[in-house]
Amino acid sequence: MIITKTPYRISFFGGGSDYPEWFNEYNGEVISSTINKYLYISCRELPHFFRHKFRVVYSKIENVKKISEINHNGVKQLLLHSKIKDGLEIHYDGDLPSRSGMGSSSCFIVGLMNALLRFQNKDISKKKLAQESIHIERNVMNENVGWQDQIAASYGGFNNIVFKENGYKVNKIICKKSFKDNLNKKLFLLYTGKSRTAEKITKSYTNKLKNKKKQNINKILNFVSEAKKIIKNNNPDDFGYLLNETWYQKRELSKTVSNHKIDELYIKGKKNGALGGKLLGAGGGGFLLFYVDLKNKDKFLNSFKNDVIVPIQLSEKGSNIIFDEK
């Protein structure tokens, strides 16, 4: 059995500029970090005496004889890509719900690819794992996704990822320990109670970006530049205030990014001690990220006592094998 542990991610600044439709022409960059919440995937060889050859367990259970019969498209495409012929059982489960803005779809592709390669006794670099995962999602599954989620899940850590024509570079963010300590104490996730598929939302605002490329891309990249200065100067609370600014700019991209309920939750958070925050992922639902002033932490938590609040910390490792026994 092989078990992989793959981190979810938070994209702080620059989201949208990680689409090749943009960075191949204008370049792009993001500031993101993996966090201490994970997706776990296990793979084991299925004994031959079962009537089915493949078993996939998630919110559903699929028992099939052929890969082509699998309904879960990500599992099906990765099995076809890996050319595995032996019977296989795949389980996956995560610390956070899917379709919640945490990069879970890419996290799954990275984690399963990592597991299947180890199952075949193949080694792969972080760069190759990210590139192969991007290829599967964009070119095989035809998903309208950017590049940052696969890279974050593969590399792990608090990074500035720079995108240029047909390529990228991962720059590990160097900052004072006190800066990270502040983020680890002051960042909270609030579940909006609504999951969503990123595909339709990203299409709606990428279409708008196409109409106003230079204007919107420059705004997005300016936030990244400002964030790097804040990190260098060790001003973590300014990081929180900047999240507030980028959230309002993101809301302008499309009516589907937010809704009345999300706006109410965000305003409530701001009134009760949050310096800033943003809706994670494409928008439309999932998790709100808040940066909370510690003096008002209890007030903030009490105001959402009937909601799901998740404290988080930044993590360092990308997708890794935590169990390997055949």
pTM score, whole prediction: 0.92
pLDDT-based confidence at residue 47 (cuts at 50, 70, 90): confident
Mean pLDDT, the chain, rounded, equals 91
Residue 134 has pLDDT above 70, yes or no: yes
The CATH architecture one would assign to domain 2-174+315-324 is: 2-Layer Sandwich (3.30)
- Contacts for 285 with CB less than 8 Å, ≥ 6 apart: 99, 100, 101, 192, 193, 194, 195, 196, 262
Which pLDDT score, from 0 to 100, does residue 198 have?
Answer: 47
Which pLDDT score, from 0 to 100, does residue 281 have?
Answer: 76
Mean local confidence (pLDDT), 40-45 = 96
How far apart CA 106 and CA 94 sit, in angstroms, is: 13
How far apart CA 173 and CA 152 sit, in angstroms, is: 13
Q: Which of 33-47, 61-75, 251-265 bottoms out in mean pLDDT, i.e. has the lowest? A: 251-265
Q: Bridge-partner residues for 206, per DSSP? A: none
Percent of residues, the chain, with pLDDT higher than 90: 75
Residue 213 has pLDDT above 50, yes or no: yes
Which pLDDT score, from 0 to 100, does residue 100 have?
Answer: 82
Mean local confidence (pLDDT), 234-245 = 96
Residue 197 has pLDDT above 80, yes or no: no
Q: What are the start and end residues of each CATH 3.30.70.890 domain in the chain?
A: 177-311
Conformational region of residue 193, where left means phi above 0, alpha means psi within -120 to 50, and beta covers everything else: left
Per-residue pLDDT reduced to its tens digit, 48-105: 888 999 999 999 999 999 999 999 999 999 999 999 988 999 999 999 998 888 999 9
Q: What are the start and end residues of each CATH 3.30.230.10 domain in the chain?
A: 2-174+315-324
Residue 214 has pLDDT above 90, yes or no: no
Per-residue pLDDT reduced to its tens digit, 275-294: 999 989 765 678 999 999 99
Say if residues 18 and 28 touch (Cβ distance below 8 Å): yes
Q: How far is CA 144 from CA 151, 202, 216, in A?
A: 16, 7, 19
Which pLDDT score, from 0 to 100, does residue 316 have?
Answer: 96
Given CA atoms 212, 213, 215, 219 in this order, what sign does their dihedral have?
A: positive
Say if residues 38 and 8 touch (Cβ distance below 8 Å): yes
Q: Look up residue 224 and give its amino acid.
A: V
pLDDT-based confidence at residue 248 (cuts at 50, 70, 90): confident
Say if residues 156 and 316 touch (Cβ distance below 8 Å): yes
How far apart CA 103 and CA 78 sit, in angstroms, is: 18
Conformational region of residue 302, where left means phi above 0, alpha means psi within -120 to 50, and beta covers everything else: alpha
- Coil/strand/helix, residue 151: helix
- Contacts for 85 with CB less than 8 Å, ≥ 6 apart: none
CATH topology of domain 177-311: Alpha-Beta Plaits (3.30.70)
DSSP 315: -
Count CB neighbours of 211 within 10 A.
Answer: 8
Q: Look up residue 161 and give its amino acid.
A: I
